């Protein structure tokens, strides 16, 4: 993919619901999902439609019309987006050093379980 697509917090909330649906979703379905999660948030049609238009321009979603309804679907997976975000963070904040990134976490009491999970992850790649 390359460069990370810049997404606002509100756009990401909408995108998370598109990923959660995992299929084509309408604006009304998204409003229902967002409202269910955030009772205090005001998710009106125009607002969600605007975020979807922005996400479409950024290449994260596309749309298709079917029986007078407009359906949106993801063009990039959550995993791919998170992978790009992690690479961007390591490259911009830690000079491309995974070790530097992990060292930053060592100062914040990492649990033994998390350390074991990282060891297992590294061993997985060593045995491929």
Task: Give tens-digit pLDDT for 23-55.
Answer: 899 999 999 999 887 766 678 899 999 999 999
Instruction: Identify which has the larger pLDDT, 77 or 107.
Output: 77
Q: Does the structure show a pLDDT above 80 at 17? A: yes
pLDDT of residue 128: 66
CATH topology of domain 9-74: Arc Repressor Mutant, subunit A (1.10.10)
Q: Report the number of secondary-structure helices (H) and strands (E) in the chain.
A: 6, 2
pLDDT of residue 99: 80
Q: Which of 7-16, 29-38, 62-71 has the lowest mean pLDDT?
A: 29-38
Q: Does the structure show a pLDDT above 50 at 1? A: no
Q: What are the contacts of 106-111 at 24+ separation with CB within 8 A?
A: none
Phi, psi of 53 (to 5 degrees): -65, -45
* Structure tokens given for 5: 């697509």
CA distances from 20 to 29, 104, 106 (A): 12, 31, 32
Instruction: Identify which has the larger pLDDT, 37 or 128.
Output: 37
List the one residue out of 14, 19, 9, 84 whose CA is nearest residue 49.
Answer: 14
Domain ranges of the chain: 9-74, 94-128
């Amino acid at each position: 993919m390359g460069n990370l697509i810049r997404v606002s917090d509100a756009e990401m909330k909408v995108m998370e619901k598109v990923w959660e649906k995992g299929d084509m979703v309408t604006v009304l379905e998204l409003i229902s999902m967002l409202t269910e999660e955030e009772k205090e948030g005001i998710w009106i049609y125009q607002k969600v439609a605007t975020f979807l238009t922005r996400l479409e321009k950024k290449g994260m979603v596309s749309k298709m019309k079917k029986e007078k309804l407009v359906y949106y679907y993801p063009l990039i997976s959550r995993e791919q987006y998170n992978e790009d975000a992690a690479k961007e963070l390591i490259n911009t904040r830690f000079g491309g050093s995974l070790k530097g990134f992990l060292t930053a976490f060592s100062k914040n009491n990492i649990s033994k379980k998390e350390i074991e999970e990282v060891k297992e992850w590294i061993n997985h790649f060593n045995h491929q």
